[in-house]
Amino acid sequence: MMSIDNILAQATAVAVKELYGVDFPAEKIVPQTTKKEFEGNETIVVFPFLKASRKAPDVTAQEIGEYMLAHCDAVEKFNVIKGFLNITIKPSFWTGVLQHIAQTPDYGFTAATDDSQLVMIEYSSPNTNKPLHLGHVRNNLLGYSLSKIMEANGYKVVKTNIVNDRGIHICKSMLAWLKWGNGATPESTGKKGDHLIGDFYVAFDKHYKAEIKELVEKGMSPEEAEKQAPLIQEAHDMLRRWEAGDPEVRALWEKMNNWVYAGFDETYKRMGVSFDKIYYESDTYLVGRDTVLEGLEKGLFYRKEDQSVWADLTPDGLDHKLLLRSDGTSVYMTQDIGTAQLRYKDYPIDRMIYVVGNEQNYHFQVLSLLLDKLGFKWGKDLVHFSYGMVELPNGKMKSREGTVVDADELMDEMIATATDMANEPGRLQGVPEDERDDVLRMIGLGALKYFILKVDPRKTMLFDPSESIDFNGNTGPFIQYTHARIQSVLRKCCEDYKSVDISGVAPNEKETSLIQRLADFTVAVADAGRNYSPALIANYVYDLAKEYNQFYHDCSILKEQDAAVRCFRQLLSETVGNVIRRGMSLLGIEVPDRM
């Protein structure tokens, strides 16, 4: 069965052909849900047809409406507001729409085929000198959700992570561990490896600042003190030894990084995100250097007198970009080129999406140009999924001072808040004791994920844990509770409602509105994929849950006397529950059956 949008689009195209003798592509006709203040279910804008009709907008809309009323079985009546044709669909048609949605297991989703494009999505990108923090949480949730949305739109998807596992910041943690660690391990301290190493990164900064202060008090300028402080000198020496392959430094680096990876894996698993392929900067930076040198030989780049290598991007409206330092070492841009080289070798990428904060907008503008010059077919069209920062009510986060709100603490806090909420009278009464912890986990993490994902990704957002877990309003727990309410209704059904003939049921206004909302799921999924916006899914599911609660309040379900109507409403409830679960899965959010 075609969707109502497709049926009306095709009927409109036929009407334009018959009335005005012009072929107008049905795929360019996009019916919209009629605004609440007007009568009708679907609205068609007729302005694109005026060239064909050579008549006023209201006259054109009237003629098309009359033709569709006579020739399209789905149309019950219509009205015209200037150039807007508002169509009311026959109630019996909506019953068929409901049955179609209920009988389609993957309604709203498009399965990938052998010919589907391959989309690679990079997200997370942590440093191995500290735990994942709140900024990483938004990055991971956006990246994972985007991967699910792209899969639902029929793309093949590869989820990747690039780990920043080398550089001066890594050496700072290593040096601090050697100086003040006393052989500490995750096992001996009872700390996750990423937290343990993060402590030493903070310790380095503390001692480094003390050295700078001492040098400044002796008359050195702050800028010179930052360069001459013994600790930073030792850290740079350690980095040089690492790049030279010093066995002792490399062994320490490998040991400490493995502690961090084990910690990251725990956090990723708890957060519910995953990757298909992980790349490491320690493997890619040399590849990037070699690729840049190849580009230099081909005349794509140029070398300055100090032997540094640059790209001239002034013809593209940008500036000159450093690619290799005078000592031949790589910069971040070079590492990204190397990672791209390896990825292109590993996968036949059609589209590359980088989930990275908006402070890197210029970086990816440059990277796109460089990859295109180097011959990567997807380089020019790479997508920088740019998102805003996350702030807390008490201000921004700072990593070196150790005041970051890390991901583990945040998840702990969310589950603790859910637990406090559950202790209120009347909460979680129907949840068995052995399911309680799992439900609390779903509520806490669902609140966190939904609150972050419902916001337009491009905007800087303020995350308020207490507001996110409210059971009223546009929150994850509100939607989860609606799903649990539906499951409670279905558990109380005493008949096989799916076997009853409901074809003769004419839905009322509330039921029609709810079915129409269900039918819009395909549009929401497509729009979210086209616009790279999990927020479109989040707000669709919220609207669906809100619509269902209005229906639940106004329409009796289990006590309805008419058996066909009762079974119709039970099927409607089940279908709403399924679409809520499917929509929330695109956000990486679980929905409990009991709350």
At residue 382, what is the residue type? L
Angle at 407 between CA 402 and CA 412, to 5 degrees: 105
- What CA–CA distance (Å, rounded) separates 54 from 385? 43
**CA distances, 466 to each of 135, 415, 589 (Å):** 18, 11, 18
- What CA–CA distance (Å, rounded) separates 581 from 575? 10
Q: In the CATH scheme, what is the code of domain 4-89?
A: 3.30.1360.70
Going by C-beta distance under 8 Å and a sequence separation of 6 or more, which residues neighbour residue 409? none
Cβ density class 257-284: b for 16+ within 10 Å, e for less: bebbbebbeebbeebbbebeeebbbbbb
Beta bridge partners of 356: 386
Tell me the domain boundaries of the chain. Answer: 4-89, 166-275, 276-405, 407-585
Q: In the CATH scheme, what is the code of domain 407-585?
A: 1.10.730.10
Q: Which residue has the tokens 């990037």?
A: 288
Going by C-beta distance under 8 Å and a sequence separation of 6 or more, which residues neighbour residue 169? 127, 129, 201
What is the full per-residue pLDDT of the chain (595 aa) written as tens digits? 667 888 999 999 999 999 999 999 999 999 998 998 999 999 999 999 999 999 999 999 999 999 999 999 999 999 999 999 999 999 889 999 999 999 999 999 999 999 999 999 999 999 999 999 988 999 999 999 999 999 999 999 999 999 999 999 999 999 999 999 999 999 999 999 999 999 999 999 999 999 999 999 999 999 999 999 999 999 999 999 998 999 999 999 999 999 999 999 999 999 999 999 999 999 998 999 999 999 999 999 999 999 999 999 999 999 999 999 998 888 889 999 999 999 999 999 999 999 999 999 999 999 999 999 999 888 888 999 999 988 877 644 444 444 568 899 999 989 998 998 888 777 887 788 889 999 999 999 999 999 999 999 999 888 888 788 888 889 999 999 999 999 999 999 877 888 888 988 989 989 999 999 999 999 999 999 999 999 999 999 999 999 999 999 999 999 999 999 999 999 999 999 999 999 999 999 999 999 8
Beta bridge partners of 79: 86
* 480, 553 Cβ separation under 8 angstroms: no
**CA distances, 311 to each of 284, 324, 341 (Å):** 20, 10, 18
Contacts 24+ apart (CB under 8 A), 510-513: 510/550, 510/551, 510/554, 510/555, 511/94, 511/551, 511/555, 511/568, 511/569, 511/572, 512/41, 512/89, 512/91, 512/94, 513/547, 513/551
Burial (0-12, 13-18, 19+ Cβ within 10 Å), 248: exposed
* 457, 535 Cβ separation under 8 angstroms: yes
What is the token pair recorded at 367? 């990277």
* 408, 195 Cβ separation under 8 angstroms: yes
Strand extents, DSSP E, 369-438:
383-387, 390-391
Q: Which option is the CATH number for 276-405: 3.30.300.30, 3.40.50.720, 3.40.50.620, 3.40.50.1220?
A: 3.40.50.620
CA 488 to chain CA mean position, Å: 30
Measured over the CA atoms of residue 3, residue 4, residue 8 and residue 11, the dihedral's sign is positive
At residue 224, what is the residue type? E
Looking from the CA of 495 toward its CB, the CA atoms found within 13 Å total 17
- What CA–CA distance (Å, rounded) separates 175 from 559? 71
What is the token pair recorded at 42? 């679907």
- What CA–CA distance (Å, rounded) separates 140 from 184? 30
- What CA–CA distance (Å, rounded) separates 316 from 60? 47
The pTM of this model reads: 0.90
- What CA–CA distance (Å, rounded) separates 193 from 223? 33
- Of the candidates 567, 565, 593, 566, the residue with the CA atom closest to the CA atom of residue 580: 593
CA 407 to chain CA mean position, Å: 17
**CA distances, 226 to each of 170, 207, 208, 209, 269 (Å):** 18, 12, 8, 8, 39
Contacts 24+ apart (CB under 8 A), 357-363: 357/135, 357/139, 357/386, 357/387, 357/388, 357/389, 358/386, 358/387, 358/388, 358/389, 358/458, 359/389, 360/384, 360/386, 361/386, 363/332, 363/333, 363/336
